[in-house]
Amino acid sequence: MTNSSTPGWALVATLTAVGVLVLISVSVVLLALGARRRARHRLEEAEASEAELRERLEALERRLTQPEVRRRRRDEKAAEKEYVITSLGEDGEPAEVEQVVQRTLTAPAFADAVFRETIVHGAALVHGVRRALSPEVRFKIRYEMHREVKRARKDRKSEMREALREYRARQRAQVRDEKETA
């Protein structure tokens, strides 16, 4: 026998309780470390997202302030110059179009541009007329006209046959009615 005054089951129960408490403490510490790691990761993601949003906001602010500077410069140049040949990029145009540089011209340059544009339009008209009068196009027109004439004749013949059928049917109906009344 043993000389100890505490029973063996009490010693086993105490050791088991201490073991369970150690396990619970270790699991709580591990859970806290995992939560801390997740929180740190979320914080880093939030900081990266914030930096990206700041860059986008700064880019938008730069893009919004630049047109005002451009407009002021353009207005100053327009006051100096006499002719403006385009209004592209003004009033309601998309931001991409505003990147187009607006040019102002002197009177001789403006007259030259108008003259060249007129020549280009005239050349396009002459090219179109020449192409429209080419033998291939005239043949296509003649062919299509011939097909249309044939179709119209066919339609007229079928309409004439139908009208003749209806006329003869009415004539037969009149003859029958006269026979029945007589």
Residue 16 lies in a domain: yes
User: Any idea how long the chain is?
Assistant: 182
**Which residues in the chain land under pLDDT 50?**
1, 97
Residue 90 lies in a domain: no
pLDDT the model gives residue 18: 92
pLDDT, tens only, 151-171 = 999 999 999 999 999 999 999
Residue 99 lies in a domain: no
Q: Hunting for tokens 């353009």 — which residue is that? A: 74
Burial group, residue 113, by CB count within 10 angstroms (0-12, 13-18, 19+) = middle
Secondary structure of residue 182 in the 3-state scheme: coil
Residue 117 lies in a domain: no
pLDDT the model gives residue 91: 57
Residue 86 lies in a domain: no
- Domain range for 25 is 8-80
pLDDT the model gives residue 63: 79
* Number of domains forming the structure of the chain: 1
Residue 25 lies in a domain: yes
Residue 161 lies in a domain: no
pLDDT the model gives residue 8: 79
Query: What tokens were used for 132?
Result: 């429209």
Residue 32 lies in a domain: yes
